[in-house]
Structure 1
Amino acid sequence: MSRPHLILILSASVASLVAAHGPALAQEASDETEASTDIVVTARKREERLQEVPESVSVLTGAQIDRGNINNLKDFVALTPNIIARSTFRSNETFITLRGIASAQGALPPVSIIVDGVQLGSNDFINQDLLDLERIEVLRGPQGALYGQGAIAGAINIVTRNPTNDFEGFVKGTYGRGNSYRLSGAVSGPIIADSLFFRLSAYHRGTDGLIKNAAGVRIDGGKQSSVRGQLSLDADPLTIKLRGSWTDGDGGCCIQDKAPRDAAGNLIDLDDVTNPGAKSNILGREKTRFRDASARIDYDFGPLTLTSITGWADVRQKVFGDFDYTAAALTAQDLVYSTNVVNQDIRLASNGDGAFSWIVGGFYQKRKETLRLRVGAEIPGGLTPTIIDQDIHKTSKSTAVYGQLSYKITPELELLGALRYDDDKEDNVDRNRPATTQAKAKFHALQPKAQLSYKWTPDIMVYATYSEGFRAGGFSQTSLFDNEKTRNYEAGFKSQFADGRVTLNGSVFHIDYQNQLLSYVVNTNTAAIRRTINIPKTAIDGFELEVNARPSRSLTASFSVGFTDSVVKKVAPDPVIPTAGAVGKKSPLVAPFTVGASATHRTPLTDTLDFVAYGAVQHRGGYYFDLTNTIHTGTKTFVDANLSIETSVWSIGLYGKNLTNARFAENMSITGADLRVPNQPRSYGVEARYRF
């Protein structure tokens, strides 16, 4: 059966269900006009109202996620100030920059990403589809006191929808450009009424691809399937939540071309990613499998709650692709990446609304990573590893203790202090050359935080924060890089007007940044070297402003602006990339500004039928890839839209992403190889959804 026929069958099934059940199955749609004062977040590991949290936090609710057709990390960071996400050589790996602090190969992300309380332990877990979400919370600024060494720039807290005591669910189908389709759905309900509940979510997607190589062949096609199951036991004062998921897929990868240069050696329009386009004689392919499981146990003792969160996650990706990136059959590469992570977080937290509020806890993580890399001469169906044959194994063991205490000096004035100690031990070896590559390293740091907040009125709060951030050093292949550390100074405000229908939040910050990470790859006919280096000293200044408004029950709108000025203050010489003259230049991979706006308007057509129009725009500044500021991607504007007709039970409509077809290089080699990774072009299609 063809995929278009599958979509048509889904649409017909939805229509028949609507005809059969009509309004009797209707449930109230998510309220897109929910005020910020009503949004509850768990950003600080306890439930708090968003406007009561003295931090720079952006929240996307489940309704906003559905409306914006947000399916992955890149979709939602486009709606958040001072953050960008970039694709790299492997489809599994998405790199993030937040407030001037960027991802690097071999290191943890600069942002701690938490899914249902479990911290993801590697870049390789980030680029999974998002499904059946309650909300996404993005905390900007270091959150190491509660979330540890991976939170040097902030934290992203992803909360999936919980199992329910009422039987409910949805099914959704999309079909669009490039023969791209996605079927998703969920079902939830009681196993034992009022005590034991389940939720099952799944999706299957596929595409022929949207990117063509120089020969006109689509090279980014693929498919992926995923299923997630949850069980929830409510036996007051005990609650237990079990979660597990499985994802498997394959698709195109290693999508790079060689950017052209003029006769003088200057790059020609780096963002014209169709010129010349990929010329590799091998169409790169990858196979990926994700698995994870977690258990959360909460016991309410009255004055305090004991929480234990245990998590396990495993990812494996196999890649085969070109190495010379030419049309000639010269060299190929075969890579197998795998990461296995076990987490344990246990904590005690106070309950109630007294003057004192506190959390104390301990954290343990064991992470095993392997990289099997073979590069060499092409042979039919494979390669001979004449250039490189590595079998790198890395083990990391991290332990931490942490605590946070807040005290209301007066009902309006609150003082908060937090402290965390992280200790990380890493072993690294190339098992093909153990005698010369065996290495061990230890990294540790204290991460203090102090904050003062004051409520001028019930609707206006100001705050000031000092905090220190830490990201452990490590190994990129077999080369060692050092710890990153930051000292952060921030002042901000939160306010609301017009009975909560308008919120205006803002902050300014300064960061003293030590040992900023920058990674690069050297591909030659005799070597394949991946290195991560330290930039000794950087200074970052910036600000953020966010406005959310509900002018009427039919209209919601938001606007945000972020500015980051990141300047290199000190460099160290490097044997591969130029560093002379870098002092005073802008830091690599940092967009100087992001401006975003979105709006949703609902027009009643009948008593039960609405027309809904949604649009979102992001204007993002250009940034440099290299230290000497010679390789640059330009300023871009991206537009998404969604038009639908819907009731409380079903909806059908049109969607579009990157409607301006803004093209640019998401990643670019800085070692002279001129290899670049293109972004996704314009996409559009139809979608249908049915709720029950």
Structure 2
Amino acid sequence: MLRDQIRLLLGTAAVFAAPFQVHAQAVDTAVQPGDIVVTAQQRSERLQDVPIQIQALNGTTLQNAGIRTSAEALSLTPNASFDQGNTYKSTFITMRGLTQINNADPPVAFVIDGVPQTDQTQLDVNLYDVERIEILKGPQGALYGRNAEGGAINIVTRLPSDRLEGFGDILYGNGNQIIGSAGLSGPLAGDKLLFRLDGTYRHFGGLIDNSFRGDHSDFVDHDWSLRGRVVAKPTETLTIDLRAEYGDFRAASNYYSAVFSGNPNDYVNPQFNLPGFAYGHNLNLTAKIDLDLGFATVTSITGHTDLKQTNRADLDYRNPVDSPSGIFGLGFQAGQGQDLGLKTTSQELRIVSNGHERLRWLAGVYYLHTDRDLHTRAFVDLDSDPNQIDNPALLFANKQESNSNNAYAAFAQVDFDILSNLTLTGGLRYDEDHRNQLDLIAGLRRKTSFHHVQPKVTLTYKPTQGFLLYATYSTGFRSGGFNAPDVSIPMFDAETLQNYEAGFKAQLLDRKLTINGAYYFENVKNYQYFFVDAATASQIIANIGRVHIQGVELEVTARPLPGLELSGAVGTTLSKIKADADPADIGNRTPRTIPFSSNLSAQYSVPLTDTVTGLARLDWQHFGKKYWGADNAQVQDPYDLLNLRAGAEFGRFGLYFFTKNLLNAKYYTEYVPTKYSGLDVALGYRGRPRTYGVEARVKF
């Protein structure tokens, strides 16, 4: 398999490299119409000039594809998935085999307007008024720091405009789904002071039936947010960018189905008796200051987040009529709840050289402080009322912890053009993470620290205009930490990896055809994974000793006719457990792995009259077999999602019809076998069935 992947990658590169002369020559890197510009390396560059596999989605693409959440955006990227599960806002990002786990750091750096989002409850964001999303694959630790092992997701919201403009958007779909967003932007004091105010609202009655309660388990009562932004330019060299966002939500939570057959391809509806829900709010504040010194730009980014979430749910995921023996056959039903409070404050200061000189450099420092309080309880359920959690006599598990950590980092990167078409890049980052946990029940305190050096070296060669080859050695680091007090595994170790990658980027036929590809190999130590001990309401993180992951990625974009754009991509993630405390798992694939995934998109825009333009778009995503546990005993069959969108634009007004999951594919976004659920029954989290509706949009 490895030999075949290398042949595929090198063979494709050779086909397009053969006609090219390979002597040194000047290569034009100037931005031309139609080029995609990204800031993946903290400076503006053409996407095709960056030696990283990047999927870039601008605001227009997001709108045309009907993408409204970060989860939907990541679904267009092979070797990546963004699954729902557990509490509302809780997500499981998996990229190149590195996966999200509960109560721990994510496997990718998730950055919004320069501010890292460090908790899994912060990653499922509503996308509105977004400039672009950059999805970087492969370790990005040298620039993005800890938790960027699998890659980085960089979300850039739209800047205020220097003229008055606005938009409004409303969607209505089945399941009584209502989504609206609106925004207004313009000058407050000429071009020296600009503003943007926007917001979004979501309501959903639900489509996944609870067979016992007779209601919908996946409802969203409300999820809204309001964002304000002001950009001041007091001088030609100084820019001050201030942003504030507040959101509030109440929605379904923990709507797992009890899968009595133990078969991950047995798709059943939830049947629990105790209603699951979550509510909370979050506040995000950002201050960015740019000072142009001429030879370089100094940037300061300060971020603060205050998030609270209350969660209540069934624990046995059954009901007293169909399962009168209750949890573990003890004769009673059980419920659970978590109260989460999260506060983070971050500060980054960096300096980046200006221009496109032969030597380009950047350097910076970073600080993060996090306070995370978590209160977890399990109780005897007598009457299906979630408020029973406040009765001490009914509690059989009660854990309350206060976690804090201080993280420090220093980083630098240098790009040097050895020749006009040969560049050597070197990056280095040092991360240090100090963790502190207080058991508020027992009054016990634990402290530990982790640190790691993350180097990166890349050699980039541009043999001719429109063609790039690169080879990269990079590293990744995800901090360890404490599990909840009094669990069987008190601590989990830091996860580290080494990545070896070779890739190419090519633009042909007057930039009408783009082909990018890469082969990667990762050596992972202390791979982190997650399981549950339901009897003590404990969520536990543990380590797999050593894992090898390798794969190939290939992406093609073509514009064969005016108005027609085609794109497709494939990705493989072949993981193998090389060392583990459980010898039976050696040789298996890692949890949540999808060895093969692919997607295809087709969009056609055509003038219907002098004032009307028609738009049609198809998005198809294929997900191969999914291995849920390290024992590989439970494997979900492949499935496909097909989304269609069509409409017409009448100048500043647009009307569109859409359907998602047209074929009504059935799948679980999370499946927990009994070995890892801690229960006497497996659990499945149903994926959303077919949705459809109409959307109207106006801009001025």
TM-score normalized by the length of structure 1: 0.91
Amino acid at match of 2:457: A
Partner of 1:248: 248
Partner of 1:18: none
Instruction: Give the Å deviation of 1:648.
Output: 3.1
Instruction: Give the Å deviation of 1:667.
Output: 1.5
Instruction: Give the Å deviation of 1:351.
Output: 0.6
For 1:314 and 1:281, locate their aligned partners in 2 and report how far apart those are by CA, in whole Å.
Answer: 32
For 1:251 and 1:563, locate their aligned partners in 2 and report how far apart those are by CA, in whole Å.
Answer: 35
Q: Is structure 2 residue 49 aligned with structure 1 residue 52? A: yes
- State the secondary structure of the residue aligned to 2:125: coil
For 2:128 and 2:580, locate their aligned partners in 1 and report how far apart those are by CA, in whole Å.
Answer: 43
Q: Is structure 2 residue 490 aligned with structure 1 residue 490? A: no
Map 1:535-550 to 2 at 5 A.
535-550=544-559
Instruction: Give the Å deviation of 1:529.
Output: 1.5
For 2:499 and 2:35, locate their aligned partners in 1 and report how far apart those are by CA, in whole Å.
Answer: 30
Partner of 2:455: 448
Amino acid at match of 1:382: Q
Partner of 2:259: 259
- 1:272–1:663 Cα contact (<8 Å) kept: no
- 1:37–1:50 Cα contact (<8 Å) kept: no
Instruction: Give the Å deviation of 1:476.
Output: 2.6
For 1:356 and 1:291, locate their aligned partners in 2 and report how far apart those are by CA, in whole Å.
Answer: 40
Map 1:10-29 to 2 at 5 A.
none
Partner of 1:515: 526
Instruction: Give the Å deviation of 1:272.
Output: 3.3
- 1:271–1:633 Cα contact (<8 Å) kept: yes
Partner of 1:128: 125
For 1:257 and 1:618, locate their aligned partners in 2 and report how far apart those are by CA, in whole Å.
Answer: 25
2:624 to 603, 621, 646: 621
- 1:170–1:187 Cα contact (<8 Å) kept: yes
Instruction: Give the Å deviation of 1:429.
Output: 2.1
Instruction: Give the Å deviation of 1:106.
Output: 2.5
For 1:500 and 1:484, locate their aligned partners in 2 and report how far apart those are by CA, in whole Å.
Answer: 41
For 1:116 and 1:60, locate their aligned partners in 2 and report how far apart those are by CA, in whole Å.
Answer: 15
For 1:602 and 1:131, locate their aligned partners in 2 and report how far apart those are by CA, in whole Å.
Answer: 22
1:378 to 365, 381, 395: 381
For 2:590 and 2:56, locate their aligned partners in 1 and report how far apart those are by CA, in whole Å.
Answer: 28
Instruction: Give the Å deviation of 1:586.
Output: 1.1
1:651 to 651, 654, 657: 654
For 1:98 and 1:330, locate their aligned partners in 2 and report how far apart those are by CA, in whole Å.
Answer: 37
1:399 to 396, 408, 411: 408
Partner of 2:3: none
1:221 to 202, 219, 222: 219
For 2:33 and 2:258, locate their aligned partners in 1 and report how far apart those are by CA, in whole Å.
Answer: 47
- 1:106–1:477 Cα contact (<8 Å) kept: no
For 1:684 and 1:272, locate their aligned partners in 2 and report how far apart those are by CA, in whole Å.
Answer: 25
- 2:602–2:617 Cα contact (<8 Å) kept: yes
Instruction: Give the Å deviation of 1:445.
Output: 0.3
For 2:381 and 2:94, locate their aligned partners in 1 and report how far apart those are by CA, in whole Å.
Answer: 36
- State the secondary structure of the residue aligned to 1:538: strand
Partner of 2:560: 551
1:364 to 357, 367, 390: 367
Which digits, 9 at most, give the CA deviation of each residue in 1:387-442, with x for residues without a partner?
A: 1111111001000000000100111000000100000000112201123xx21111
- State the secondary structure of the residue aligned to 2:60: helix
Amino acid at match of 1:51: Q
- State the secondary structure of the residue aligned to 1:591: coil
Partner of 2:22: none
2:438 to 395, 406, 429: 429
Partner of 2:40: 43
Which digits, 9 at most, give the CA deviation of each residue in 1:578-599, with x for residues without a partner?
A: x342111111111111110101
Map 1:348-363 to 2 at 5 A.
348-363=351-366
- State the secondary structure of the residue aligned to 1:178: coil
For 2:163 and 2:662, locate their aligned partners in 1 and report how far apart those are by CA, in whole Å.
Answer: 39
For 1:353 and 1:335, locate their aligned partners in 2 and report how far apart those are by CA, in whole Å.
Answer: 51
- 1:521–1:671 Cα contact (<8 Å) kept: no
Instruction: Give the Å deviation of 1:668.
Output: 2.1
Amino acid at match of 1:469: G
- 1:106–1:474 Cα contact (<8 Å) kept: no
Partner of 1:91: 88
- State the secondary structure of the residue aligned to 1:581: helix
Amino acid at match of 1:412: N
Partner of 1:16: none
- 1:36–1:503 Cα contact (<8 Å) kept: no
Instruction: Give the Å deviation of 1:160.
Output: 0.6
Which deviates more from structure 2 when the two are superposed, residues 376-385 or residues 246-255?
376-385
Q: Is structure 2 residue 480 aligned with structure 1 residue 473? A: yes
For 2:180 and 2:466, locate their aligned partners in 1 and report how far apart those are by CA, in whole Å.
Answer: 43
For 1:505 and 1:170, locate their aligned partners in 2 and report how far apart those are by CA, in whole Å.
Answer: 35
Amino acid at match of 1:116: D
Map 1:297-376 to 2 at 5 A.
297-328=289-320, 330-376=333-379
Instruction: Give the Å deviation of 1:98.
Output: 0.5
Which digits, 9 at most, give the CA deviation of each residue in 1:60-114, with x for residues without a partner?
A: 1111000111111221111112101111211121111100111112221100011
Instruction: Give the Å deviation of 1:321.
Output: 1.5
**Do the aligned partners of residues 280 and 66 (structure 1) sit closer, same or farther apart at CA in structure 2, a change above 3 Å counting?**
same
Partner of 2:326: none
Partner of 1:686: 694
Which digits, 9 at most, give the CA deviation of each residue in 1:240-263, with x for residues without a partner?
A: 1000100101011110121022xx
Which digits, 9 at most, give the CA deviation of each residue in 1:109-152, with x for residues without a partner?
A: 10001111111121111112111111100000100000100101
Partner of 1:568: 577
- State the secondary structure of the residue aligned to 1:654: strand
Amino acid at match of 2:467: I
Amino acid at match of 2:89: N
Map 1:191-206 to 2 at 5 A.
191-206=188-203
Partner of 2:15: none
- State the secondary structure of the residue aligned to 1:433: coil
Instruction: Give the Å deviation of 1:330.
Output: 2.3
- 1:477–1:530 Cα contact (<8 Å) kept: yes
Partner of 2:590: 587
- 2:376–2:537 Cα contact (<8 Å) kept: no
Amino acid at match of 2:271: K
- State the secondary structure of the residue aligned to 2:217: coil
- State the secondary structure of the residue aligned to 1:75: helix
Partner of 1:26: none
Instruction: Give the Å deviation of 1:37.
Output: 5.9
Amino acid at match of 2:557: N
Amino acid at match of 2:289: I
Map 1:409-424 to 2 at 5 A.
409-424=418-433
TM-score normalized by the length of structure 2: 0.90
For 1:358 and 1:271, locate their aligned partners in 2 and report how far apart those are by CA, in whole Å.
Answer: 51
Instruction: Give the Å deviation of 1:36.
Output: 9.0
CA RMSD of aligned residues (A): 1.4
